[in-house]
Amino acid sequence: MTKSKIWFATGNKHKVVEAATVLAPYGIKLEHYPLERVEIQADDPADIAAYSLQQVSDSRPLCVEDAGVSIDRWGNFPGPYSSYVLERLGNSGILKLMQGEQNRKAHYVSAIAYRDESGVHIFHGTVDGEIAQSIRGTNGFGYDPIFIPAEGDGQTFGEMPSEEKNKISHRARAFCALAEWLTK
């Protein structure tokens, strides 16, 4: 299964930079495959990623990722609709929903659907944490400025340097799992 280069189909360049950094130490080069993908409505990001991957007919080794943040108090909202909800409500809308809430637990999930000549393979990554009381930090993207990972020192992902975020993030973990499998 050893590959020295794979493609990442996404419309989000931030994700490519993050993932490329994770794959580099494994000797795997990640190329951006620009794609505005068709996303289905489903609860499992693995289903969404796998469906989007199906829509791309290209024989090169290729992956699609779907990610989201899930908030306990609101039944795992926004989950698979994280990017839509972020566009509309923003982090300030999420903070409004969380006003006065005791249970602030949340987790970030990443699912990768990867396809090569051997078929389609799914890889997951998760990081637990909680929703901050305010927007903090300008690193990262998405919900990073309001997400405090449980394994950190209380900083949000938005406050962490990217090297630090890349050690524990959901996306880093999913791409590590893919890299381990690709190089085993």
Catalytic sites, residue numbers: 66
- Contact flag: residue 92 with its own copies (CB under 8 A): no
d(CA 75, CA 72): 5
Toward its own copies, which CB reaches closer, 16 or 48? 48
Return the CA Rg of the chain.
Answer: 16
Of 63, 67, 69, 77, the one binding its own copies by CB under 8 A: 77
Of 41, 59, 102, 118, the one binding its own copies by CB under 8 A: 41
Write out the DSSP string of 119-163: EEEEEEEEEEEEE-SS----SSSTTGGGEEETTSSS--TTTS-HH
Residues contacting its own copies: total by CB under 8 A: 20
- CA–chain centroid gap for 172, Å, is 8
Of 7, 9, 35, 39, the one binding its own copies by CB under 8 A: 39
> Residues interacting with its own copies, by CB under 8 A?
38-41, 74-79, 81, 84-85, 87-89, 93, 96-97, 99
